[in-house]
Amino acid sequence: MARAERFLQACRGEQVDAPPVWLMRQAGRYLPEYQKVRARTDFLGLCKTPEWAAEVTLQPVDILGVDAAIIFSDILIPVEAMGMKLVFDDHGPGFPDPIRDEKAVDALTIPDPQDRTGFVLEAIRLTVKALGGRVPLIGFAGAPYTLLSYMVEGGSSRNFENTKRMMYTRPDLVHRALEKITETQLRYLRAQVAAGARAIQVFDSWGGHLAPDDFREFAAPYARRILDGMKDAGVPRIYFVLDGGTQLPEIQRCGADVVGLDWRTPLGWARSVLGERQAVQGNLDPCALLGSQDTLRRKVKGLLDDNAGRPGHVVNLGHGILPMTPPEHARAFVEMVHELGARP
């Protein structure tokens, strides 16, 4: 039964037979099996059809041999439920009507998760049933600051100038929007756990773009509120800030059970900042799956050495797996972690 419990044990800081491993975006474009399902519909259609979302969620469990599944969805789904029109095109996600003023902020609603995102909850129930206890399923949500920046920019951004301009001219408005987003995510995550998710991850994809004082004011308090609010749900809470290396002291105080690290952050150093009580997750450069097997093996060994056998390490990439990754390299990564990290 090692595989079924390995991930949750590591999240709790317990010793395991071998480090658990999963990959951010493991249900995704690099898999031909995913492409086949995706061909039936568009991206949002896939997110909103529970049977298909469950199908692609399950694929990497068998194909790669990972120790956890993560529900296939997108962090912007609950934002659409707040009343914003959401589109996906070749440039990625977009909100054609970004929020830039008081009226737009006031128009945002706090949706009931069952009413407006019931398809995600149904996908979770179907996935949990199909998994039959083989590995746990992770639920997730975007961190409030990251969602806000998408909502203000209208999509992804290089400099986040609209979001920051609003922060630096109308902080009151930004905080008001963040309050609504936070409450929405909290309800959404609780509903995911009620539907069967056995861990949750909060993705702060753009929090790492903030200066430390702004992270402290606009990102950390809301992430903390979600993590605190999920404490009594009894599942491990993972907080991942992309490019968050220099914010680690503040991230530490957000109180996650597991801190996700991107590939630029030395894992051993991160553990020394975080202390003993928090587990870590990460952090291989996704590009390492594009190189030779020798390089990959050396890098997996380096990653495990950097952790020095301490309990509380969930192995993962430091960011989502890239679309051009050969699936056999992803599988080799999982096998190497289990082999090289096995306790003697």
Residues carrying an active site annotation: 25, 29, 38, 74, 150
Helix residue ranges per DSSP H, the chain = 2-11, 32-38, 43-47, 50-63, 77-81, 102-107, 113-116, 118-131, 144-153, 161-169, 171-195, 212-214, 220-229, 248-252, 267-274, 293-307, 327-340
State in angstroms the smallest separation of the CB of 298 from a second copy. 9
Candidates 19-27, 35-43, 159-167, 230-238; binding stretch for a second copy (CB under 8 A): 159-167
Q: Which of residues 273-312 bind a second copy (CB under 8 A)?
A: 285-288, 290-292, 295-296, 299, 302
Contact partners, residue 140, CB within 8 Å, separation at least 6: 70, 71, 73, 75, 192, 200, 201, 202, 203
User: Is 207 strand, coil or helix?
Assistant: helix
Q: Is the dihedral of CA 105, 140, 168, 221 positive or negative?
A: positive
Give the residue with the Cβ less far from a second copy, 126 or 289: 289
Distance CA(82)–CA(54), nearest Å, equals 24
**Cis before 283? omega within 30:** yes
Instruction: Check binding of 136 to a second copy (CB under 8 A).
Output: no
Q: Is 4 near a second copy (CB under 8 A)?
A: no
Burial-class residue 210 by CB neighbours within 10 Å (0-12, 13-18, 19+): buried
Among 260, 318, 327, 341, binds a second copy (CB under 8 A): 318
Number of residues that bind a second copy (CB under 8 A): 38
The least CB distance from residue 289 to a second copy, in Å, is 9
Contact track, a second copy, 234-263, x by CB under 8 A:
---------x-xxx---------------x
Shortest distance in whole angstroms from residue 165 CB to a second copy: 5
Residues 171-230 that bind a second copy (CB under 8 A): 208-214
269 binds a second copy (CB under 8 A): yes
Choose which of 21, 53, 64, 167 interacts with a second copy (CB under 8 A): 167
Locate 256 and state its tokens. Answer: 């996650």
| Paired tokens of 80 | 């659409």
44 near a second copy, judged by CB under 8 A: no
The residue type of 241 is V
Contact flag: residue 165 with a second copy (CB under 8 A): yes
C-alpha 294/C-alpha 130 separation (Å) is 36
Nearer to a second copy by C-beta: 130 or 332?
Answer: 332
Task: Determine which residue in the list 109, 114, 169, 272 makes contact with a second copy, applying CB under 8 A.
Answer: 169
SS3 97: coil
Q: What DSSP designation does 284 have?
A: E
Query: Are 343 and 18 contacting, i.e. CB atoms less than 8 angstroms apart?
Result: yes
Least distance from C-beta 136 to a second copy, angstroms?
28
User: Residue 50, interface with a second copy (CB under 8 A)?
Assistant: no
Binding-site ranges for a second copy (CB under 8 A): 159-161, 164-165, 167-169, 208-214, 243, 245-247, 263-266, 269, 285-288, 290-292, 295-296, 299, 302, 318, 322, 324
